[in-house]
Amino acid sequence: MSELRQNPATKKWVIIAKERAKRPHEYLSKKKNLLNEKQPYSEKCPFCPGNEDKLPEEGIILEKKKNGKQWSVRVVPNKFPALTAYGNVERNEIENLFLSMEGVGCHEVIIETPIHNTTIGLFPKEDVEDTISAYRERYLSFSKDKRFKIVIIFKNHGEGAGTSLDHPHSQLIATPIVPQYTRHRIHEAVDYYDDWGKCVYCSIIEAEKKLKERIVLETEHFIAFVPFAAALPFEITVIPKRHAATFGEINDKEITDLAGILHNVLGKLYRKLNNPDYNYVIHTAPFNDKGEDYYHWHIEIFPRLTKVAGFEMGSGIYINTSIPKECASFLRE
Amino acid sequence: MSELRQNPATKKWVIIAKERAKRPHEYLSKKKNLLNEKQPYSEKCPFCPGNEDKLPEEGIILEKKKNGKQWSVRVVPNKFPALTAYGNVERNEIENLFLSMEGVGCHEVIIETPIHNTTIGLFPKEDVEDTISAYRERYLSFSKDKRFKIVIIFKNHGEGAGTSLDHPHSQLIATPIVPQYTRHRIHEAVDYYDDWGKCVYCSIIEAEKKLKERIVLETEHFIAFVPFAAALPFEITVIPKRHAATFGEINDKEITDLAGILHNVLGKLYRKLNNPDYNYVIHTAPFNDKGEDYYHWHIEIFPRLTKVAGFEMGSGIYINTSIPKECASFLRE
């Protein structure tokens, strides 16, 4: 018999299809999709060193160097931006019904390393640190522009996760609206806060630490766990132990620590599941919620091992054909 | 420059990426994925006539026949059900935080035709009528079970839409909870109703009929249109003109008419885009909302021509690389 489980933070129910559930090793990608079969440099890649002429005209926005030598991380504009920095945020209305506005925002790419055929789980964790520092710098910079409400930082790894470029990179999009997903999460978090006088994410951290069975890795400042109501096989949440509503509040020590845990967890996914496609996204409260007690920023990692079908699209209820604690145990070992 | 548009019913914003937008014909599936290359009967298929021994033990739940001859539609249990009809709906709580319950519900398959190598857009519209009648019969039957709150009726067409079986079929899942997606839609619809004293979906129908540019097809009882804030290329909404909150309220004339418009619209997708993978889902209010003024049942068709990536998963904001009125015009011609 399957089980319905509710995510206490989002209040979303999922179906844990226990009878149909596969064992963790059955999720191994069959094709050995390993990166060392590719070359460390690609002539056609706009993100490889020496190919800067393939970047958008605006050029490099931010660059980090190791010991004054070659760059380790670069931030560049997205060549095909979903939103652009000019225009205004006035709403238009058609037929007293349809609201629209100019596509104002910003869309940038964070090139995580000069090396073409690698990935966060494989390259030195010091380099991951530069990527996360770059995230924070850009976040803080956008937070000063009153037109923007939030920055969504995310990564698409592999074709099945929606990327067409192999070179390790993540993206950020600053939006002039608060996404409805964020509004709903905050709404639920505020409800919990008003009921219990504490942050629901802090309560989850406490419960997961006590139960232990779903924890993948714990470091000084973060824990990584497979959620009780994981929607997808091997879904992982990485969350700072210190309460902070917005990603911009991350401090230097936490950046170093987050680099380590991301490197480690994504390395486990790479090695134990044969380099699966995945997305990750940083969930943060909007800029203006800095310092708030009720929300708690965190990262969600979504391996793309299954297909989303009509039931999920129509109801938002995911059918998870794996057992969260088994996925955690498989990754922990 | 791109444009942000808000769906007036769900209040979700989408990005219409005008500069990156492809023209409609660029969405044509390159491989000719046509069904007449397959056989009308498959020995291995559990849904083909004569292979009833491959069905689950419980057997056939409902069968419709044409002129007393061969069956035209069958309803059978799902062999690997996400939810099952036994058990109770009591909640359990772990650590004062994590709610769960037994996976109570029902999961059935509607076999839409005895013929293996066809699809709704191709077979006679009279047979589509039997499928929709079967939807209604099962809906009404489940609505009497107090454990169930709603039925999600959906279809996965093609591997990219999450199905592993070729034989034309749709599914229904009765759930013991109201999905959060449904709650949010109703919440927004109630807000609109309280503001304007009318149903937001009725207002959308009125506006689309006036503007005309996004309408794909209009019949006596239904209209099919590409929404103003479509999240996906060629997304289509099919909605009854007569206000009704729940799908169970559909009448016989509307069933005949819906069969015609679905047959026609899905036929257009098949012919004009080379049989793309798609999902459709019937959005209905929960059983108890029968007769309510604020909600309006409808069908959403989601062609799977693009990949959902980290930004969409993290924000719920879709980047649509097509222009809704161009998609409508392409399908209309």
pTM of the entire structure? 0.97
- For residue B115, the model assigns a pLDDT of 95
- Which one of B157, B169, B221, B263 is the catalytic residue? B169
pLDDT for A32: 62
Torsion of CA B13, A161, A183, B289, to 10 degrees: 80
Residue contact A15–B176, C-beta within 8 A: no
Looking at the DSSP bridge assignments, the partners of residue A156 are: A279
| Minimum Cα–Cα distance from A7: chain B residue | B98
Q: For this structure, is B296 an active site residue?
A: no
Q: Which chain B residues contact residue A309 at CB under 8 A?
A: 154, 156, 161-163, 279
Which of B290, B244, B11 minimizes the C-alpha distance to B150?
A: B290
What residue spans define the domains of chain B? 3-332
* B327 φ/ψ angles, rounded to the nearest 5 degrees: -65, -45
- Residues in chain A with pLDDT < 50? none
Dist CA B15 CA B168 (whole Å): 33
Structure tokens at A176: 């002039």
**A57 at the B interface (CB within 8 A)?**
no
Residues of B in contact with A181 (CB under 8 A): 314-316
Out of B3, B87, B207, closest to residue A103 by CB: B3
Contact A177 B279 (CB under 8 A): no
Do the Cβ atoms of B156 and A281 come within 8 Å? Answer: no
pLDDT tens, position by position, A140-190: 999 999 999 999 999 999 999 999 899 999 999 999 999 999 999 999 999
Best mutation site among B156, B209, B307 for testing chain A: the one with the most A CBs within 10 Å? Answer: B307
Mind listing the pLDDT tens digit of every residue in chain B (333 residues)?
899 999 999 999 999 998 888 899 899 876 666 787 889 999 999 999 999 999 998 889 999 988 777 899 999 999 999 999 998 999 999 999 999 999 999 999 999 999 999 999 998 888 899 999 999 999 999 999 999 999 999 999 999 999 989 999 999 999 999 999 999 999 999 999 999 999 999 999 999 999 999 999 999 999 999 999 999 999 999 999 999 999 999 999 999 999 999 999 999 999 999 999 999 999 999 999 999 999 999 999 999 999 999 999 999 999 999 999 999 999 998
Residues 299-318 of B with CB under 8 A from A: 300, 302, 307-311, 313-317
SS3 content of chain A, % helix, strand, coil (to 5): 30, 25, 45
Tokens 């999920």: give the residue. A312
Phi/psi region, residue A318 (left: phi>0; alpha: psi -120 to 50; beta: rest), is beta
Q: Which of A82, A300, A313 sits opposite B302 (nearest CB)?
A: A313
Q: Is B2 on the interface with A (CB under 8 A)?
A: yes
For the annotated catalytic residues of A, the residue numbers are 169
> Of A105, A109, A102, whose CA–CA distance to A153 is shortest?
A109
Question: CB-based contacts of B103: which residues, under 8 Å, 6+ apart?
Answer: A1, A2, A3, A4, A15, A16, A17, A18, B82, B83, B84, B87
Quote the CA–CA distance of A121 and A118 in Å, as a whole number. Answer: 8
Q: Are B307 and B218 in contact (CB under 8 A)?
A: no
| Amino acid (1-letter code) at residue B40 | P
pLDDT value, residue B264: 97
Nearest Cα of chain A lies from the Cα of B316 at a distance, in angstroms, of 6
ipTM of the complex: 0.96
| pLDDT given for residue A283 in this prediction | 98
Residue B280 exposed, middle or buried by CB count within 10 Å (0-12, 13-18, 19+): buried
Q: Report the CATH fold assignment for A3-332.
A: HIT family, subunit A (3.30.428)
Single-letter amino acid code for the residue at A299: I
d(CA B160, CA B164): 9
Min Cα distance B86 → chain A (Å) is: 9
Structure token digits, residue A298: 């965190």
CB B238 within 8 A of CB B263: no
- Strand segments, DSSP code E, in A20-128 are 62-65, 71-77, 92-94, 98-102, 106-111
- A215, β-bridge pairs: A225
Q: Do A309 and B161 touch (CB under 8 A)?
A: yes
Nearest to B176 by CA among B94, B100, B80: B100
Q: Report yes or no: A229 at the B interface, CB cutoff 8 Å.
A: yes
In the prediction, which pLDDT does B33 show? Answer: 67
